[in-house]
């Protein structure tokens, strides 16, 4: 009787023990922290790191509950031999299975880049390609489709100058969409609702951004440009000629000093030979330049130049005064 009872109880106890072991195993694979208490930890796997050492560091770093459970899972799934070198940002709110799967998938390297105010699309393309984010020339392949947010089929003026974090070796569409989302959030609310008026504002802002650094000087020059446009005068903005040279080369170019041949070059962006505004922005202006374009100051001035020694903007009321300033400050 007792022997028969034992025969019945032992399998039950074994089953319970197996069940509890299974529960314990799966519990050991659960996250250490709840999402609200999660800790983000940079974790590096170097080429040549042993599997056991990597698991030990995961446990010591407070990322997994049990190195033993992680080892069993990794061996059972074949992950143990497939950890890829890289720097990962891991979360203590991730399960052991998720963490191991991440190490198998490989790190997605993020790169931080700064786009300076006034940089044009050729500059931005160079910055992104040097950082390993996009192949050189990829920005020019962006498929616009029906996108006409500021009334033109160009990214120039819409690659808002800021600091960005992008994935290395990205496709062009998500990169451009990130730029456009920042543009929509920071610049679009400042622009007139009419697309043509928005484009006009961006063009003037891009000229101001490259011409002078001070906000009030930009406002005065915005007023000068508006007067010249109304009078039918060529704008004669040196920065536009620089852009024409860059666009002709399709690459960043150091265009200064400008030559007489430069001032006569055949380009729709050359405001010495063409009246009116360039057909599109000549760069990507910052917020202050956009605000200056929207708030031109009336003045008695028609001409200006920058002192080559100090960078100060020198204004003139007429051509004769401007000629004297050129002789004095541009020697």
231-273 tens-digit pLDDT: 999 999 999 999 999 888 887 777 778 888 989 999 999 999 9
> What local confidence, expressed as pLDDT, does residue 152 receive?
53
> In the chain, which ranges are E strands?
40-45, 86-91, 110-114, 163-167, 303-306, 313-316
Tell me the CA distances in angstroms from 249 to 149, 153, 252, 253, 261, one per residue in order. Answer: 27, 20, 8, 8, 16
Of 168 and 281, more confident:
281
> What local confidence, expressed as pLDDT, does residue 146 receive?
45
pLDDT at 3 over 70: no
Task: Please list, residue by residue across 247-276, b when 16 or more beta carbons sit within 10 angstroms of its beta carbon and e when fewer do.
Answer: beeeebeebeeeeeebeebebebbbbebee
In which element (H, E) is residue 324 found? helix 319-329
Q: 13-17, 106-110, 165-169, 298-302: which has the minimum mean pLDDT?
A: 13-17
Instruction: Determine the Cα–Cα distance for residues 154 and 176; give it in Å rounded to an integer.
Output: 11
Residue 273 φ/ψ region, left for φ over 0, alpha for ψ in the -120 to 50 degree band, beta for the rest: alpha
> What local confidence, expressed as pLDDT, does residue 219 receive?
98
> What local confidence, expressed as pLDDT, does residue 20 receive?
39
pLDDT digits (tens, 9 = 90+) for 83-126: 888 777 787 888 899 888 888 887 667 789 999 999 999 999 99
Residues 179/159, Cβ–Cβ less than 8 Å: yes
Of 285 and 84, more confident:
285
pLDDT digits (tens, 9 = 90+) for 4-42: 444 545 443 344 344 334 456 678 888 877 765 667 777
What percent of the chain clears pLDDT 70, i.e. is strictly above it? Answer: 87
pTM of the model: 0.70
Identify the three-state secondary structure at position 119.
coil
Q: 109-118, 137-146, 211-220: which has the minimum mean pLDDT?
A: 137-146
> What local confidence, expressed as pLDDT, does residue 209 receive?
97
Residues 81/96, Cβ–Cβ less than 8 Å: no
> What local confidence, expressed as pLDDT, does residue 23 receive?
52
């Amino acid at each position: 009787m007792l022997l028969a009872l034992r025969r019945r109880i032992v399998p039950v106890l074994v089953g319970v023990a197996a069940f509890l072991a299974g529960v314990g195993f799966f519990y050991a694979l659960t996250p250490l922290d709840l999402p609200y208490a999660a800790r983000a930890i940079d974790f590096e796997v170097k080429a040549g790191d042993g599997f056991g050492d990597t698991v030990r560091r995961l446990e010591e770093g407070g990322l997994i509950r049990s190195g033993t459970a992680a080892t069993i899972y990794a061996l059972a799934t074949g992950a143990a031999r497939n950890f890829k070198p890289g720097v990962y940002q891991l979360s203590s709110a991730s399960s052991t299975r998720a963490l191991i799967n991440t190490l198998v998938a490989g790190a997605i390297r993020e790169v931080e880049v700064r786009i300076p105010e006034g940089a044009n699309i050729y500059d931005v393309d160079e910055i992104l390609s040097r950082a390993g984010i996009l192949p050189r020339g990829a920005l020019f392949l962006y498929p616009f489709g029906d996108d006409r947010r500021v009334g033109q089929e160009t990214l120039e003026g819409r690659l808002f100058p800021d600091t960005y974090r992008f994935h290395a070796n990205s496709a062009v569409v998500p990169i451009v969409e990130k730029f456009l989302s920042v543009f929509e959030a920071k610049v679009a609310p400042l622009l007139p609702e009419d697309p043509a008026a928005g484009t006009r504002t961006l063009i003037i802002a891009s000229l101001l951004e490259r011409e002078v650094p001070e906000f009030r000087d930009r406002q005065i020059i915005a007023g000068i440009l508006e007067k010249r446009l109304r009078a039918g005068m060529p704008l004669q903005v040196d920065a536009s000629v620089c852009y024409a040279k860059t666009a002709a080369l399709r690459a960043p170019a150091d265009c200064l000093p400008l030559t007489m041949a430069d001032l006569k070059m055949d380009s729709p962006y050359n405001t010495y030979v063409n009246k009116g505004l360039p057909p599109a922005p000549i760069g990507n202006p910052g917020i202050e330049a956009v605000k200056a374009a929207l708030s031109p100051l009336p003045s008695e001035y028609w001409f200006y130049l920058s002192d080559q020694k100090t960078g100060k903007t020198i204004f003139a009321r007429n051509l004769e005064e401007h000629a004297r300033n050129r002789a004095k400050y541009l020697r």
